[in-house]
Chain A
Amino acid sequence: MKVIELHKSVTASNDADAEALRQELKQRGTLLINLMSSPGSGKTTLLSRTIQDLKDELKIAVLEADIESAVDAERIEALGARSIQVHTDGMCHMDAGMTRQGLEAMGLEQIDLAFLENVGNLICPAEYDTGAGKNVMILSVPEGDDKPLKYPLMFQKSDALVITKIDALGYFDFDLEQCRKRALKLNPNIQIFAVSAKTGDGMKKWEDWLKKETSAWKAQ
């Protein structure tokens, strides 16, 4: 027997699959956004509003990976977006292989923007590259402004942070500025949007960013 030194991450094979998927999506002109958050952060409500606002400009699809998301998928389809539910078989995250299977089963013809609703969890999903073009983290006001301190990796891996439920700011001790500072400290390039999908407050900036990123993805 000989010893082979590797010094390789255990997820190295996933990283390669993810990169291949990302390149294929680029050739298709589909921007895949990996949405990560805790359960109950308002992902589906944010997506519903976003789809409603953008459906005339972009063809949108949603891959639901949350285990209890049958209701969510129905809500999304009622808005006219393509949707599919993926079972992770008890796993705490989506990896590139599962994402590919889900996308292939759903079909991506003419889709400009696809969202992957990752499993509600702020830890494991950050460790696995799904092949998405952009990673977005959602944090809701009731969860607290200290989350960047507790889950630093999630903030470091995200291109954008959407702070949801800002209509509830008056009821919680959530310091928006403090949260911004903490997130930017971990990741100086992170784009931060503070929104309320209920009142529509701040939604335009978030949607403008999505439109800009989708056309940039196609142009590259």
Chain B
Amino acid sequence: MHEMGIVMHLAKTLDELAEEQNIAKIGSVTLQVGEVSGIMTDLFVDAWDYFKVKHPVLTESQLKLETIKAVTYCEACGKTYETVRFGRTCPYCQSGETYLVMGNQCIIKEIEAEENEEGQ
């Protein structure tokens, strides 16, 4: 469900971009997905396949996913560590005073696009 919402926003963002930049067709979309963004990639790809056929610009496009490592910062000892492995407790000093620095985002890194012919 969460994935469907994100895909809808992604499709809308790309539709708008295509219009602004005179793009006829998008060949590929590269997304950077954080490890703790809460996005399940299998579901995300399914949702994308379902949605892309409803958007002419996206119909032939391929989705490429890159993972962004999640990193947590410990306020007690000032070190950073891998969130997925250790969770909220700092592995160096066992403190729980930690917060996520990165890894919850979902960013459109780049797209491959074909422009409309001149004059169209």
Across the two chains, which residue of chain A brings its CB closest to B4?
A91
Across the two chains, which residue of chain A brings its CB closest to B104?
A153
- Beyond A4-B110, A7-B107, A9-B106, whether A149 also contacts B96 by CB under 8 A is yes
Contacts between the two chains (Cβ within 8 Å), count:
78
B66 interface residue, CB < 8 Å from A?
no
Shortest CB distance A38–B (Å): 16
- Beyond A1-B113, A7-B107, A13-B13, whether A92 also contacts B96 by CB under 8 A is no
B84 interface residue, CB < 8 Å from A?
no
A71 interface residue, CB < 8 Å from B?
no
Q: With A and B bound together, what is the CA distance between A120 and B113 in angstroms?
A: 39
Q: With A and B bound together, what is the CA distance between A90 and B21 in angstroms?
A: 33
Contact with A along B97-111 (1 / 0, CB 8 A): 001100011111111
Across the two chains, which residue of chain A brings its CB closest to B105?
A9
A42 interface residue, CB < 8 Å from B?
no
Q: With A and B bound together, what is the CA distance between A163 and B67 in angstroms?
A: 36
- Beyond A4-B21, A92-B5, A186-B99, whether A10 also contacts B112 by CB under 8 A is no
- Beyond A6-B108, A10-B9, A11-B9, whether A91 also contacts B1 by CB under 8 A is yes
- Beyond A1-B27, A4-B21, A90-B1, whether A9 also contacts B108 by CB under 8 A is yes
- Beyond A10-B10, A13-B12, whether A3 also contacts B110 by CB under 8 A is yes
Shortest CB distance B62–A (Å): 11
Whether A1 lies near B112 (C-beta < 8 A) is yes
Q: With A and B bound together, what is the CA distance between A2 and B116 in angstroms?
A: 12
Q: Interface residues of A toward B: which range?
A: 20 to 34
- What total of chain B residues lie within 8 Å of the partner, measured CB to CB? 31
Whether A95 lies near B112 (C-beta < 8 A) is no
B115 interface residue, CB < 8 Å from A?
yes
B54 interface residue, CB < 8 Å from A?
no
Interface of A is mostly: mixed
Shortest CB distance A16–B (Å): 8
Whether B13 lies near A10 (C-beta < 8 A) is yes
Whether A7 lies near B5 (C-beta < 8 A) is no
In this complex, the member of B12, B106, B112 whose beta carbon has the largest number of chain A beta carbons within 10 angstroms is: B12
Residues of A within 8 A of B111 (CB): 3-4, 6
Whether A8 lies near B108 (C-beta < 8 A) is yes
Q: With A and B bound together, what is the CA distance between A124 and B104 in angstroms?
A: 11
Across the two chains, which residue of chain A brings its CB closest to B28?
A1
Contact with A along B74-103 (1 / 0, CB 8 A): 000000000000001000000010011000
Contact with B along A74-106 (1 / 0, CB 8 A): 000000000000000011110100000000000
Whether B109 lies near A13 (C-beta < 8 A) is no
Whether A8 lies near B13 (C-beta < 8 A) is yes
Chain A residues within 8 Å of B, Cβ to Cβ: 1-14, 90-93, 95, 123-124, 128, 149, 152-153, 186
